[in-house]
Structure 1
């Protein structure tokens, strides 16, 4: 019960985002889709409308020129219907398919490809009239949609007013013009009105898309308790645990290899085990293991040691004891002090001799 009163202040986790997306809940603006389709339709009509107009004009001219030859009867009605259906399908169906593709593309641009049947599942809460009234009257989204509806009406109305006011004198003169001039002016006027309205509608759609995404992120927020429960659930997954342990081992291995150049000596088995030891009397109570490994890791440790001039000492019993008893970054136990001291004394004496010979 306490969880119900917690504020949703935390950003959604990747798992929650994935779960919500699988249910078909995404941030999407229908206004954005409509605006894209409208603008593309206007541009297609502007650049290809003359072709469609010519087709319809030729058909109209043919029909009216042959009215005296057309007979409507039971035998030829199907023939005429088939003819007109084929005509409009061949000339305008590609345009409609193209617009459908644009609409699908606008959806993919917003939220990527997603296919789920989850929204089609029966949900009794949707039939609850109280919940429906709350969504309609008291939700932030419904108020926004109401304001957006008034804004769309205002945009279309004001745009139409200013466009028509600028050409009212030209329209009045059309009373004495021929049909072609009337058609050309009205076409130009319609395109100008549609284009300006479409551009303003597109700006409104951008604003709506921003709001939908903000509202979506807000609804995705989680309480701290939900995050804790999700973390427990994830940590309980054996595969997740395995990946975490594997990653931890990789990090430890990487850090260990970086510490090998800092070692004073590497003690080997000689081929199966390698132990890197470091001792700073001023800072440490006892020598510390900075790296250890078997087989391939041991070979890598010895390779790095050779590259940095670190002495490599073969001592099978000591190497095995250090590998079993001491973890990385731990000091050696008292029972190994004597054996390790002999090795370090040998290494330090070797370094002094090398230093004197160089000098």
Structure 2
């Protein structure tokens, strides 16, 4: 029960972050993406406005100049509609696709590439009215969104008011101007208004992204117990790992003991260490350690050796050197050749005597 009340004070692990991404949980500000698309649209309009104006003007002139030939019928109307769609598609579809790519790029820049279907899975918890009301009324995120909405309306409204207030005097001058000047003034004023409000919107969305990042990191925080459980999941339960290691040692020991009856000699400490050696001149470059052990294992090696008639030689320095320097199934190092050769020579001489007898 105490684990349930632990504070989430630890930073999220890489695995927790990866699991969150797989579920589609990332730090993202939709406001920032919208602001970038808005400002990009204004830039496109600024540099491509004349192009769009000329295309629309020429198309309008063509339609009006040929209005006398327009025939109203079901077939003709579908052809006219196709022509209009073709005009808009050929001239403005590239700009629309470009703005869509900007929106996607702004989203990817915040979160990286994320593809998941987790959000499409049905979840009964989402249908729970109590949890929904709690998220809406009492969560930190909902309160921030509410405050952000009021602040956004106030900031953008104030910006628009300041911009429009500065244009009042210019509007009075337009009373005696022709329609081209009025249209130009409206276009410039509208662009200035959209640009300045767009920059303010970008500033607000930047703070929104910072909050989303901060809130995301808070939600990912873990308790110390969660980190321990994750480590167990990744590395395995220490108890299970120790059992596996113990079983592995038992298997190695059993295989080792099976080789003792075929050894040529067992060199002992005499009581604490036992090392079994095997030498086949036609197969080995040097004698090989086939079994070794201390205390109980050493006693077991000597017991098996006695039962199978394997000679046991007491040589304390050699037994210690072999045990420390040579692993099982490894050949002895050159510095031990001379000492081991004396032992093997003694053992082989005993075997010859036994054969003669």
Gaps of 5+ in 1: 246-270, 273-314, 326-338, 340-359
> What SS does the corresponding residue of 1:25 show, helix, strand or coil?
coil
> Which residue of 2 is the match for residue 33 of structure 1?
33
Displacement after TM superposition at 1:132 (Å): 0.8
1:15-43: CA deviations, max 9, x gaps? 11111111110000001100110111110
Aligned pairs for 1:37-116 within 5 A: 37-116=37-116
Give distance in 1, aligned partners of 2:318 and 2:49.
90
1:64-90: CA deviations, max 9, x gaps? 222222121122011100000000111
> What SS does the corresponding residue of 1:75 show, helix, strand or coil?
helix
Displacement after TM superposition at 1:112 (Å): 0.6
Aligned pairs for 1:232-251 within 5 A: 232-236=232-236
> Which residue of 1 is the match for residue 172 of structure 2?
172
> Which residue of 1 is the match for residue 322 of structure 2?
320
> What SS does the corresponding residue of 1:116 show, helix, strand or coil?
coil
Give distance in 1, aligned partners of 2:167 and 2:234.
67
RMSD of Structure 2 on Structure 1 (CA): 2.5
Displacement after TM superposition at 1:2 (Å): 3.0
1:204-237: CA deviations, max 9, x gaps? 1110000000000000011111111111111218
Give distance in 2, aligned partners of 1:183 and 1:100.
29
> Which residue of 1 is the match for residue 120 of structure 2?
120
> Which residue of 2 is the match for residue 140 of structure 1?
140
1:99-138: CA deviations, max 9, x gaps? 1100111111101111111111101111111111111111
Give distance in 2, aligned partners of 1:123 and 1:164.
49
Displacement after TM superposition at 1:316 (Å): 8.5
Give distance in 2, aligned partners of 1:181 and 1:322.
99
Q: TM-score, normalised by structure 1?
A: 0.67
Give distance in 2, aligned partners of 1:73 and 1:212.
56
> What SS does the corresponding residue of 2:25 show, helix, strand or coil?
coil
Give distance in 2, aligned partners of 1:237 and 1:179.
81
**Structure-2 change in CA distance of 1:237 and 1:95 (3 Å):** farther
Give distance in 2, aligned partners of 1:85 and 1:136.
43
Displacement after TM superposition at 1:172 (Å): 2.0
Give distance in 2, aligned partners of 1:140 and 1:208.
13
Give distance in 2, aligned partners of 1:72 and 1:237.
80
Displacement after TM superposition at 1:147 (Å): 1.1
Displacement after TM superposition at 1:159 (Å): 1.2
Give distance in 2, aligned partners of 1:143 and 1:35.
22
Residue 14 (structure 2) pairs with residue 9 (structure 1): no
Displacement after TM superposition at 1:171 (Å): 1.2
Aligned pairs for 1:267-346 within 5 A: 319-324=321-326
**Structure-2 change in CA distance of 1:321 and 1:226 (3 Å):** closer
Displacement after TM superposition at 1:203 (Å): 0.7
Give distance in 2, aligned partners of 1:222 and 1:81.
59
